[in-house]
């Protein structure tokens, strides 16, 4: 099955047109403009990564606003989390699970550095997916085990911050459901090679 690609929201019309033609979906961040750019499918990110890059905690007021505005028709929404926050991140996410599931068809539990499969096994399933966040090194180290858990629990498994053909192939080999990145949002000239990575891995699976 072909992995589902999401591009971070952009306002660049040329890039948006190309993304639509390729069948990509849109990832809207709570910290940005709350526009889906008329994409048929989109998901909602909570903005924790953007806040982390600025040295700030997640803005829960912004997330609440975004959830109420866009949650109903989103593929999924990422539960509030703390980047690389381990158990503290899990505690925060659990506090928000009911709120998110009341507004959106699926909530994504963000797994972070220090978290283990056993910590979340009974929490994930058809309505609570796995969002592989955390530091880049930890994410790449643990992607296979989270994707395996997703298959075991019939849960959507998404990989954050994937911006190269090599990383796309790694996600698909692991069996992830989807990924997101900023590369496709920023540079339309890179669309062919990113799409080729998705298609090539699919063809490789078909030959087996």
- The larger pLDDT score, comparing residue 204 to residue 79, is at 79
Yes or no: say if 51 and 59 are a contact pair by the CB < 8 Å rule: yes
Model pLDDT for residues 133-192, shown as the tens digit of each residue:
999 999 999 999 999 999 999 999 999 999 999 999 999 999 999 999 999 999 989 899
Predicted local distance difference test score (pLDDT) of residue 202: 47
Q: Can you say whether the dihedral through the CA atoms of 195, 200, 206, 208 is positive or negative? A: negative
The alpha helices in the chain, defined as continuous H runs, are 13-22, 48-53, 60-70, 86-103, 117-120, 136-153, 165-174, 183-186, 191-207
Domains of the chain: residue spans and CATH:
4-207 (3.20.20.105)
Residue 47, pLDDT above cutoff 60: yes
Model pLDDT for residues 93-115, shown as the tens digit of each residue:
999 999 999 999 999 999 999 99
Residue 207, pLDDT above cutoff 50: no
Predicted local distance difference test score (pLDDT) of residue 203: 44
């Amino acid at each position: 099955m072909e992995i589902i690609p999401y591009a971070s929201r952009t306002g660049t019309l040329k890039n948006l047109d190309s993304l639509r033609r390729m069948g990509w979906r849109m990832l809207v961040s709570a910290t940005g403009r709350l526009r889906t750019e008329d994409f048929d499918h989109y998901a909602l990110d909570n903005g924790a990564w953007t806040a982390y890059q600025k040295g700030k905690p997640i803005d829960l007021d912004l997330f609440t606003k975004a959830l109420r505005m866009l949650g109903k028709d989103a593929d999924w929404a990422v539960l509030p989390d703390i980047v690389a926050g381990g158990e503290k991140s899990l505690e925060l996410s659990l506090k928000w699970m009911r709120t998110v599931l009341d507004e959106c068809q699926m909530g994504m539990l963000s797994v972070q550095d220090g978290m283990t499969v056993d910590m979340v096994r009974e929490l994930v399933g058809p309505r609570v997916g796995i969002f592989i966040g955390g530091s880049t090194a930890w994410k790449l180290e643990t992607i296979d085990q989270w994707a395996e858990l997703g298959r075991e629990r019939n849960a959507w498994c998404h990989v954050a911050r994937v911006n190269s053909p090599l990383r796309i192939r790694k996600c698909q080999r692991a069996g992830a459901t989807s990924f997101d990145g900023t590369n496709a949002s920023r540079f339309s000239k890179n669309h062919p090679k990113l799409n080729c990575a998705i298609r090539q891995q699919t063809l490789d699976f078909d030959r087996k």
